[in-house]
A and B are shown apart, each in its own frame.
Chain A
Amino acid sequence: MHNNMWKSCATTLLSFIFLLHTAAAQELFPLSDPASSMPKHVLGIRFFSETYHEVTQWRNMSAVRLMYGLTPKLTTYLTAIASNHHGEDFPKEFPFHNTPERGAIYPYKFNGAHLYLKYRFLTLDGQNKHLRVAVYGEGAYVNTTHHESEPNLEMGDNSGIGGGAIATWLNNKLAVSLTIGYIKPFHAEGYSPDPIHSLPPVPVDVRYGEALHFAFSLGYLIYPVQYRDYRQTNINLYLECRGKYFNHAEVTLFHKQPNEYVLSTLRYPKALQTGFFADISPGIQFIVRSNLRIDFSTTFRMLGFSYARLYPVYTIGIQRYFYFGKK
């Protein structure tokens, strides 16, 4: 199984390298943000959604993002996130059993919001090429509980803050982007239903692990071979490798009660322990009339394991810019 996975990854990578010699590059990655910023005073709207199959149902996290170019170098995103992935409470007997929880039914609900600010501070532009470096900060507030140590702000798994740097290099046929980031998740308080129905639910406090994450993204244009006008639909292929190292969580049971205790990490299930994973996500993108952007990508496991999702993860994104004051 693993051999097949490596073979498919290697084949994809080799095909990609070959195609880089025949096409122009693109940096509008489906899953990662490039260092480039949005045009000043332009509004963008993006809908994106992440879906995977879990036992007998499909888990889905969907988001609507408003994007705005505050200045030519400063871009902000405000995202509202909804999903059937999270509940208000922790699972029954958390964290000893049901972690990670598989197959539980959660109604589709609004999780919270995510705010992102990116500042491009280095711009070295040439004809059909550039090197750009940006820093970003992000924050998320969600009103749901998350059952694994791995934090994720963008899709609203956790409340927390984060920041990082993005470097994007583009030279004719090659677009490469590297993102390095840090996430400091906030703790979550909630209740875990006691298995003995007559007893009250157990108050739980979880301090999720801090995380370092990276994304290494490549992109190229396969159609059109030669630009003629804006009406040509652009087709871009992408390959993104994203990974995360996260610290173990800290779980307190009977939180703020006389019998409160912090659970030893030795008793944690793997999903709450320190971990690392790296995924690979091939993707395809269509840009219609040089504005409407439609992305599809699928994420496969490469190294380690993300307990917060099940593989493969299917992602779709639809995005459009709105220009004001044009003639």
Chain B
Amino acid sequence: MTNIMRYLLVLAGLFSGIICFGQIQHLTVGINGLTCSQCSRSVELQLRKLSFIKDVSMNLQQTEGTLSLVQSNTAIPFDEIAQAVKDAGFSVRFLTVTFTPETLSQIKNKELQSGADRFYIVNAADTPYKTNTFQFVGKIYMPPTVFKKYKKLLPPSAPDQSSYWLIPSGK
């Protein structure tokens, strides 16, 4: 995909509001250090403060939260999810994004546009992908020991703002 095409796709997504190349079903955030329902509630309420979060459903047993997003074509600051967990006093174990199943066919050259966000898929075989859930890769999205493992897979240059590295989720 050329840069011009990418640019056109972003513009189309922004202005039409109809053409979306990847649709996010939901996000799931795993939280480390969490042990009680009061702590879980604190995380949920920190997440609910985020303007782009529509709803939060916490799984107290698995210490995970499922997040649905407000429909928008503007860029989603996913790092704010990690920051909200940190603000509640806990750590992110993982952050995954689940796309609609039809989105998989729209992944070209391991790249996907969703709204104003661009995702790059690393450490994956060529399509078809066996899952429509992908995990964010980054220092703030996983424990330091896990990030160390994936760091070497990332290209040397950091992604632009509103661009994210993903790996197919094993979950």
Interface residues of A (CB under 8 A from B): 24-28, 36-42, 69, 72-73, 120, 123, 125-130, 132, 170, 175, 221, 226-230, 232, 234, 287, 290-291, 293, 321, 323, 325-327
Contact = CB atoms under 8 A, between A and B. Distances in A.
A291 B38 contact: yes
Interface residues of B, number: 27
Interface string B14-38: 0000000000000000101111111
A327 B88 contact: no
A126 B88 contact: no
A230 B35 contact: no
A170 B60 CA distance: 16
B37 A287 contact: yes
Interface stretch (B41-49, B71-79, B100-108, B126-134): B41-49
A126 B32 contact: yes
A232 B53 CA distance: 25
B37 A227 contact: yes
Nearest to A131: B33
A318 B61 CA distance: 26
A36 to B, nearest CB: 6
Contacts of A25: 35
Given A72-B87, A125-B91, A293-B38, A130 B33 contact: yes
Given A125-B90, A129-B35, A327-B53, 14 more contacts: A25-B35, A36-B89, A39-B87, A39-B88, A123-B91, A125-B33, A125-B143, A127-B93, A130-B35, A221-B36, A229-B60, A234-B37, A234-B38, A287-B38
The B interface, classified by DSSP as helix, strand, loop or mixed, is: mixed
A42 to B, nearest CB: 7
B169 interface: no
Nearest to A25: B35
The A interface, classified by DSSP as helix, strand, loop or mixed, is: loop
Nearest to B33: A125
A42 B36 CA distance: 17
B35 A40 contact: no
B63 A26 contact: no
A126 B144 CA distance: 11
Contacts of A323: 42, 45
Contacts of B42: 39, 42, 321, 323
